[in-house]
Chain A
């Protein structure tokens, strides 16, 4: 929570903080959505036991450990396997048939966090008999979550929820077929990673690196302001094959964005779009 006294300085201090981080570290939060960014910045201020955003700027510029913790805080990493089961059901029903005719399928998970979404997709493709011709590019700006994702080890405590999600996603097996239970952890089968490339990529500062049949960017752009969303939509449009598929989070949409007219809706509720122009 913010400080009680509103001196009108808050917005200025936040601008200086993001500017400082960008100038010193090259990481660009200047066009993140203000309301939630502000909240997370205050969470950092309190976690570092500081009183003001300006004090945080001072610490961040001088101490890379503080910067690392801030990076983790500011990039919201909350995710789960088969998050929104109905999305995966729709993907099986509406996207998989489109992919069947392709000899080779490239899928980009932009903002993959700790990888749950990627393993979910690998399982889905495996079950649909498409995995062997697929390559999944899983990218994030945060190295710490990528390191997690590469391991494919998730807490056992999350498995009941993931199992429920999976069961509701139109599956062909049991989730437990795909992992080994080891004490408090579930180790996902290495074979699920055989066609996955995990890589660092910042959507704000890095460009297009391939041409994809499918791009998933779910619950990432809600943290961006309209202007940055526009830039990222241009990047996706340039990286997607004609008739390729773009999937957003359940409560995001293309409405009002630069490329609204370049897509048709494959599933309006699950926010699955197809590039038409």
Chain B
């Protein structure tokens, strides 16, 4: 399978959801993870990585432009920038909002598909928008893996439902089970 990347999108309710998901990842998780969590552009205090770090055994960083993308590291999009991935590095952009969002989940997923093709593992979590649905469609169209939080267990089921409507997920699971599934997937392919 070669090197893979995990891309995660979360919106309303995402802070808690990400905390649970990341806390279940094994400390030896072998792939880089890139996260878009919608948040206010004025939230420049950069607290999200700190909050997530407390719940996660892997190093969590806010992405900076051209940061090398290291295995087993978690990268969070900074407020007001799109986060994109290339094969070995992260990239940022201040382009216009996409579906009202910057960072946009669709932009992250699209870049991951372009760089990693079928090795992308995309995860759509709780949220009240439809961001991520387009990206989910692209992930599946290229043979990647799509995991969606069970809408019934999400703080807001709108975003998971939109992703499920746009593409056929490989798994629809509650949060803790999503983390376990990622661990197993990585153990099998990694």
Which residues of A does B touch, CB under 8 Å?
A: 1-2, 4-6, 10, 33-36, 38-40, 76, 78, 84, 86, 219, 221-223, 226, 229, 249-253, 255-256
Chain A residue at smallest Cβ distance from B96 = A78
If the complex has contacts A6-B142, A38-B114, are A251 and B63 also in contact, measured as CB distance less than 8 A? Answer: yes
B39 beta carbon closer than 8 Å to chain A: no
Taking CB atoms and an 8 Å cut-off, the chain B residues in 78-92 that contact chain A are: 78, 81-82, 84-86, 91-92
Q: Which residues of A contact B114 (CB under 8 A)?
A: 2, 10, 35, 38
12 contacts between A and B (CB under 8 A): A1-B106, A1-B134, A6-B113, A6-B142, A36-B82, A36-B93, A39-B95, A76-B93, A78-B94, A219-B94, A222-B92, A256-B66
B53 beta carbon closer than 8 Å to chain A: no
Structural contact, B95 and A78, CB atoms closer than 8 A: yes
B187 beta carbon closer than 8 Å to chain A: no
Once bound together, how far apart are the Cα atoms of A40 and B111, in whole Å?
12
A102 to chain B, nearest CB (A): 31
B134 to chain A, nearest CB (A): 6
Which one, B65, B78, B94, B107, contacts A39 given CB within 8 A? B107
If the complex has contacts A39-B111, A226-B66, A251-B65, are A33 and B95 also in contact, measured as CB distance less than 8 A? Answer: no
Chain A at the B interface: SS class: loop
If the complex has contacts A4-B142, A39-B111, A86-B44, are A229 and B95 also in contact, measured as CB distance less than 8 A? Answer: no
Q: Which residues of B contact A33 (CB under 8 A)?
A: 86, 91
Once bound together, how far apart are the Cα atoms of A86 and B80, in whole Å?
15
Once bound together, how far apart are the Cα atoms of A6 and B110, in whole Å?
12
Chain A residue at smallest Cβ distance from B137 = A4
Which residues of B does A touch, CB under 8 Å?
A: 44, 62-66, 78, 81-82, 84-86, 91-96, 106-107, 110-111, 113-115, 117, 134, 137-138, 141-142
Q: Which residues of A contact B138 (CB under 8 A)?
A: 1-2, 4
Q: Which residues of A contact B66 (CB under 8 A)?
A: 222, 226, 229, 256
Q: Which residues of A contact B78 (CB under 8 A)?
A: 250-251
* Residue from B65, B113, B142 whose CB has the most chain A CB atoms within 10 Å: B65
* Residue from A1, A2, A86 whose CB has the most chain B CB atoms within 10 Å: A1
Chain B residue at smallest Cβ distance from A86 = B44
Chain A residue at smallest Cβ distance from B86 = A35
Once bound together, how far apart are the Cα atoms of A40 and B62, in whole Å?
24
B62 to chain A, nearest CB (A): 8
Q: Which residues of B contact A255 (CB under 8 A)?
A: 64
Chain B residue at smallest Cβ distance from A38 = B114
Once bound together, how far apart are the Cα atoms of A171 and B66, in whole Å?
33
Structural contact, B115 and A76, CB atoms closer than 8 A: no
Structural contact, B110 and A2, CB atoms closer than 8 A: yes
* Residue from A39, A229, A253 whose CB has the most chain B CB atoms within 10 Å: A39
Once bound together, how far apart are the Cα atoms of A139 and B91, in whole Å?
24
Chain A residue at smallest Cβ distance from B102 = A78
Structural contact, B44 and A223, CB atoms closer than 8 A: no
Q: Which residues of B contact A10 (CB under 8 A)?
A: 114
If the complex has contacts A36-B95, A251-B92, are A84 and B81 also in contact, measured as CB distance less than 8 A? Answer: no
